[in-house]
Amino acid sequence: MVDRNWSFKRLIELYDEIISHPHKTEIKRELRDEDDIFLLLCFSELLGIPNPVSYYTLELYPTILERFHDWHLRMGMEKSPLEGIRCC
């Protein structure tokens, strides 16, 4: 019985891989776009855009700062656009 459950689980994983394979780049692009929008929301006050949820995003800054460098390079900015954040 254990082997049958394992094979059924593997069959579902294989099916998922087959279905999602043609769309992997599209899925990655959508996830990256979501991350970009989230970073914009978190750093919007530093860019001069009012952020209604700044109190809740404040505790996320230490985690987000690690990804900020990759984000601004991907956006085509050689150096950080924010004066308060120096990552380069």
The domains of the chain are located at 2-74
Measured CA to CA, the distance from residue 40 to residue 37 in angstroms comes to 5
The pLDDT value recorded for residue 3 is 60
pLDDT tens per residue, range 43-66? 777 778 888 777 777 777 777 777
Q: Which segments of the chain have a pLDDT < 70?
A: 1-5, 82, 84-86, 88
Q: How far is CA 13 from CA 17, 57, 78, 81, 86, in A?
A: 6, 35, 41, 42, 42
Is pTM beyond 0.85? Reply is: no
What is the SS3 assignment for 85?
coil
Give the pLDDT score at 37.
Answer: 83
Asked if 75 contacts 60 with a C-beta cutoff of 8 angstroms, the reply is: no
